[in-house]
Structure 1
Amino acid sequence: MSRETPQRGGRAGLIGAIVALVVALALAGVAVFAGSGVVSALGLDGGQKARWRAGTTPPAPPPVLAAMDSQAPLPTESGVSTALSPLLHVQALGPHFTASVVDVSTGQSIYSSEQDAGMTPASTTKIVTAATVLAARGPAYRIQTRVVAGAQPGEVVIVGGGDPTLAVFPTSYYPGAPRIDDLATQVKQALGDTAPTKVIYDTSLYQGSGIGPGWDSDATTGGSGAVITPLMTEGGRTKSQPYSDRYAQPDVQAAQAFAKALGVPANAVAAGTAPQGAKELGKVESAPLARMVEFMLQESDNVLADSLARQVALAKNQPASFEGAASAMKGVLEELGLPVTGYGLFDGSGFSRNDRLSPALLTGILAMAARADRGDLHAIFSGLPVAAYSGTLAKRYTKSQEGSSAAGLVRAKTGTLTGVNSLAGILVDADGRTLAFAFMADQTTNANQAVTALDRVAAALAACGCR
């Protein structure tokens, strides 16, 4: 199995790339919304990391520009085909690829190749997860983790609410994450003179397996993912590193970490369920979904993706399982009026080799997310990695032969599994037109060559007025 490679490298020399993106979008007249993560990364927040805590309301992201300029020349289908076809029909992308290019302002398709065909999407699946959870829950929604009184004096029940970001490391891996020790402090205060004696952990929110259908055998052991449970800390990581080993039982570890914070021994931790109508002793909340979506897209975080997919299921009164999430996400896409031909997801991360998505669906979501009237979806735009600057694109588009001319002009989600490579995002072309694109290849044999080939396609589109 291949894995995405998020980069958190230096800012020197890269700020120019993001400035180039903003300038290019300004020329195009695109409504750009700056998420807190972007502001912090650029050092525009006075050096203070944005951390939205429980009980606070994050400020609405302000528009940098008012509206998209639809007066820039529209590329022609023949022009785009002339520019892209030779770069798509290369050995590095294998014998089968699909593609979709859409004008964001009008929604008009200006290039396609089997755009409605279902392809293995790998991590471009996260674009669907982002859109559906933002639409179903809203960008300001926060996931709660609660503790209630148990059946006996001194017993407390920690109820998993589906937030995988709960913090136990001195500096949380996830920005803005709620802390287990804060939750323990609330519980001790609520108990007063009653000493906690036992911790019960309730994971009844989720149903079915925590390992997705079609996942490779190393999906939960290779550092890219974990068993999906409604109670976990730091995405199941054992260390504060992107590809840290994960705990085999994230829920048990989280309950033990909570018990330790309470001063309860590990052998006094047990699985169970919260008594009906039990008194609440404490509660913490995640960062707003908009911030979680941004992080998921930037870092291609698989655990966060599958956890957010289950939030879609919960919002739509479906079972919080892989199957329920996939069904609920499809329903939300249909509500949004997006094309679901070729849809066949089995998870929210793209880990599953059974997953199928069409490039037309991806470009439809991206075009919608960039519209000024879809503020609920703007975190998709602000979360997409920027070419040669951030996330999984930080070390791509850095060499002339690999599309460096498009540095800062391409925002895109990468997708990588062994034999599968995809790239979907938004760019501004040479005439200032904003385009959404999705390129997918499912029979590649050399991942590095395939990545370079896809980057060159996107760079050619950005450089082309294509008329």
Structure 2
Amino acid sequence: MPPSLPGLATSGGRHRKPKEMSPSVRRAIVVAATAPVAATMLSAPSAFATDAVSQDRAHRNVSLPSEDAGERGDKPAFVKSVRPGAHTTGPGSVNRGIADALDARIDDPRLGTDLSGVVIDAASDEVIWDHDAATALMPASNTKLATATAALTVLGPGHRLTTEVVYADGTLTLVGGGDRTLTTEDLGVLADAAAAGLENAGLTTVEVRVDDSLFPEPALATGWNAGYYPNEIAPVRSLVVDGRAVQDTALDAGEVFAGLLADRGVTVGGDVTRGAAGEGAVLVAEHRSEALSTIVKHMLKVSDNNIAESLLRTTALGAGRTATFEDGTAVVRDVLSGTYGVSLENFEMYDGSGLSRATRIPARTLADILDLTTDPRHRGVLRHVSDGLPVAGEAGGTLGPEWGRFDTPDSQCAVGEVRGKTGTLTGAIALSGITQGKDGRWKVFSFVENGSTASNDDIKDALDGLAASVNGCNT
């Protein structure tokens, strides 16, 4: 069974004392209902003149809780017992063994010369091992750890993203709410409600428009290579269906919706257009996503770039700022430093996914972010970060056998024993995670490598071996 994190006692340390939340984040954190809302149908012509959708739709969508109501203090989903005989040696000797093993392995030529690494004892905050841990390197998708932490803190684990259909002046407008998990099936339910409402209103023809104004331009981040989109990352818009890799996901979703309306006997006139829903528009139907906690765990497990960028924008809105890369990353910094006291020395962040080649984050900062998830005071909210980390050797995540991870003689012993966030860019490989040492104590680690001339597969194998050494099975 993969390792789980029980509530860990603390004894002070680098960042354990929470700092005062910044005013902008505090103002944005309000209690909101989190139960799913079924698609709503307007059943009479007169209904189209009621329940007007206001211009404040975007802010209504992000009125979010800061706490995971009903989950705070819950027992973690799984608890791994201390290994038999784990306390036959003290933590000091175990930690020295980890440090000695890592010292012997960092000269591996596969790792090149630019490696930032650190290992922390989670309960005591003791730094077990440090190798240029303050050096800022490209972290690749390890950036998603910062994005997820800020999203859960500002929005709350129970937040749901809302996609709406509104009507005005012969036009149905599909309004994006930043839900990157929206499916054709979801749009079909919205189309059912819209078609029924039109029929009851005596209308047979309608135009279709999309409103993706929730996320303003630019749609591409600093540091993204042109070859990244649309396959690695689509230009960031607040409306997409089935995660489709196209240049204009909003118009694409609108065309799918128009086709679904036509399948239901509605005549759609003209091409799908883009435009903001007006003040007089009335709500016809809405779809609410799964809880943010579920979305975050999926995003981390498969390292979904597009979800990460949507969450960055939505987090900015939740903090009362505009949904841009600049404001989203500013809120992340505010949360990490102002709320949790994580040092941002040498920290530079330009997107939510880690695709930006301009981003620089030290291994020490990445480990500090993960270390927050082991603190009982933060587990109610941040356990969804650690719970979402891929498990070594488990299929379906980025540490699974389909990715060739933890399948070498020096790392196979750690299958099922390590949870970690992967990161891969040309010239940058990272692995940050959590594992339980031979002393039964949780160890937080981060390794970030840049510039090695070895193949990516070889570099990943070397990092997996380092993680196995932290676990204590590869000494």
Q: TM-score range by the shorter chain?
A: 0.7 to 0.9
Offset of 1:436 from its aligned partner? 0.6
Instruction: Please give the alpha-carbon distance, in whole angstroms, between the structure 1 residues aligned to 2:428 and 2:461.
Output: 13
Instruction: Please give the alpha-carbon distance, in whole angstroms, between the structure 1 residues aligned to 2:151 and 2:111.
Output: 31
Structure 1 residue 303 corresponds to structure 2 residue 306: yes
Residues 187-207 of structure 1 deviation map (CA, whole Å, 9 limit, x = unaligned)? 233332223511121111112
- Indicate the SS of the match to 1:100: strand
Instruction: Please give the alpha-carbon distance, in whole angstroms, between the structure 1 residues aligned to 2:321 and 2:269.
Output: 34
- Indicate the SS of the match to 1:231: coil
Equivalent position of 2:458 in the other structure: 449
Q: Give the aligned residue type for 2:325.
A: F
Instruction: Please give the alpha-carbon distance, in whole angstroms, between the structure 1 residues aligned to 2:209 and 2:77.
Output: 48
Given that 1:164 and 1:233 are in contact with CA atoms closer than 8 Å, whether structure 2 keeps it comes out as yes
- Indicate the SS of the match to 1:282: strand
Offset of 1:352 from its aligned partner? 0.6
* 1:139–1:92 CA distance, 2 compared to 1 (3 A): same
- Indicate the SS of the match to 1:312: helix
Instruction: Please give the alpha-carbon distance, in whole angstroms, between the structure 2 residues aligned to 1:463 and 1:376.
Output: 29
Equivalent position of 1:268 in the other structure: 271
Equivalent position of 1:116 in the other structure: 134
Given that 2:207 and 2:269 are in contact with CA atoms closer than 8 Å, whether structure 1 keeps it comes out as no
Name which of 335, 338, 341 aligns with 1:337: 341
TM-score (norm 1): 0.80
- Indicate the SS of the match to 2:369: helix
Equivalent position of 2:59 in the other structure: none
Percent sequence identity over matched residues? 30
Equivalent position of 1:43 in the other structure: none
Residues 121-179 of structure 1 deviation map (CA, whole Å, 9 limit, x = unaligned)? 001111111111001100010011112222x1x211111111111101x6xxxxxxxx1
Structure 1 residue 160 corresponds to structure 2 residue 176: yes
Unaligned runs of 5+ in 1: 1-18, 32-51, 171-178, 238-245
Given that 2:116 and 2:449 are in contact with CA atoms closer than 8 Å, whether structure 1 keeps it comes out as yes
Instruction: Please give the alpha-carbon distance, in whole angstroms, between the structure 1 residues aligned to 2:471 and 2:115.
Output: 20
Name which of 308, 313, 317 aligns with 2:316: 313
Name which of 109, 116, 121 aligns with 1:91: 109
Q: Which structure: larger Rg?
A: 2
* 1:358–1:266 CA distance, 2 compared to 1 (3 A): farther
- Indicate the SS of the match to 1:307: helix
* 1:165–1:400 CA distance, 2 compared to 1 (3 A): closer
Name which of 92, 99, 106 aligns with 2:124: 106
Given that 1:203 and 1:230 are in contact with CA atoms closer than 8 Å, whether structure 2 keeps it comes out as yes
Given that 2:420 and 2:432 are in contact with CA atoms closer than 8 Å, whether structure 1 keeps it comes out as yes
Structure 1 residue 418 corresponds to structure 2 residue 421: no
Instruction: Please give the alpha-carbon distance, in whole angstroms, between the structure 1 residues aligned to 2:215 and 2:78.
Output: 42
Name which of 348, 370, 380 aligns with 1:366: 370
Q: Give the aligned residue type for 1:269.
A: V
Q: Give the aligned residue type for 2:353.
A: S
Equivalent position of 1:386 in the other structure: 391
Name which of 186, 190, 203 aligns with 1:194: 203
Residues 369-392 of structure 1 deviation map (CA, whole Å, 9 limit, x = unaligned)? 133332111111111000011401
* 1:145–1:439 CA distance, 2 compared to 1 (3 A): same
Given that 1:30 and 1:66 are in contact with CA atoms closer than 8 Å, whether structure 2 keeps it comes out as no
Q: Give the aligned residue type for 1:299.
A: V
Deviates more, 1:72-81 or 1:349-358: 72-81
Instruction: Please give the alpha-carbon distance, in whole angstroms, between the structure 1 residues aligned to 2:280 and 2:410.
Output: 60
Equivalent position of 2:143 in the other structure: 125
Offset of 1:117 from its aligned partner? 2.4
Instruction: Please give the alpha-carbon distance, in whole angstroms, between the structure 2 residues aligned to 1:398 and 1:110.
Output: 23
TM-score (norm 2): 0.79
Structure 1 residue 181 corresponds to structure 2 residue 188: yes
Offset of 1:84 from its aligned partner? 0.3
Name which of 210, 214, 221 aligns with 2:223: 214
Instruction: Please give the alpha-carbon distance, in whole angstroms, between the structure 1 residues aligned to 2:77 and 2:152.
Output: 21
Equivalent position of 2:49 in the other structure: none
Given that 2:150 and 2:336 are in contact with CA atoms closer than 8 Å, whether structure 1 keeps it comes out as yes
Offset of 1:252 from its aligned partner? 0.6
Residues 41-99 of structure 1 deviation map (CA, whole Å, 9 limit, x = unaligned)? xxxxxxxxxxx982399985753578998x96434665433110221222111111101
- Indicate the SS of the match to 1:197: strand
Name which of 277, 280, 284 aligns with 1:281: 284
Offset of 1:398 from its aligned partner? 4.5
Offset of 1:208 from its aligned partner? 1.8
Equivalent position of 1:248 in the other structure: 247
Given that 1:117 and 1:341 are in contact with CA atoms closer than 8 Å, whether structure 2 keeps it comes out as no
Equivalent position of 2:14 in the other structure: none
Given that 1:53 and 1:287 are in contact with CA atoms closer than 8 Å, whether structure 2 keeps it comes out as no
Given that 1:229 and 1:251 are in contact with CA atoms closer than 8 Å, whether structure 2 keeps it comes out as yes
Q: Tell me the number of residue pairs that the alignment of Structure 1 and Structure 2 aligns.
A: 402
Unaligned runs of 5+ in 2: 10-33, 39-67
Equivalent position of 1:241 in the other structure: none
Instruction: Please give the alpha-carbon distance, in whole angstroms, between the structure 1 residues aligned to 2:359 and 2:98.
Output: 29
- Indicate the SS of the match to 1:324: helix
Q: Give the aligned residue type for 1:292.
A: I
Q: Give the aligned residue type for 1:253.
A: D
Residues 295-346 of structure 1 deviation map (CA, whole Å, 9 limit, x = unaligned)? 1011111001111111111111222111121111111112222121122111
Deviates more, 1:253-262 or 1:346-355: 253-262
Given that 1:397 and 1:406 are in contact with CA atoms closer than 8 Å, whether structure 2 keeps it comes out as no
Q: Give the aligned residue type for 1:379.
A: H
Offset of 1:219 from its aligned partner? 0.9
- Indicate the SS of the match to 2:91: coil
Instruction: Please give the alpha-carbon distance, in whole angstroms, between the structure 1 residues aligned to 2:369 and 2:203.
Output: 52
Equivalent position of 1:11 in the other structure: none
* 1:116–1:144 CA distance, 2 compared to 1 (3 A): same
Equivalent position of 1:42 in the other structure: none
Given that 2:165 and 2:174 are in contact with CA atoms closer than 8 Å, whether structure 1 keeps it comes out as yes
* 1:297–1:109 CA distance, 2 compared to 1 (3 A): same
Instruction: Please give the alpha-carbon distance, in whole angstroms, between the structure 1 residues aligned to 2:269 and 2:377.
Output: 51
* 1:346–1:75 CA distance, 2 compared to 1 (3 A): farther
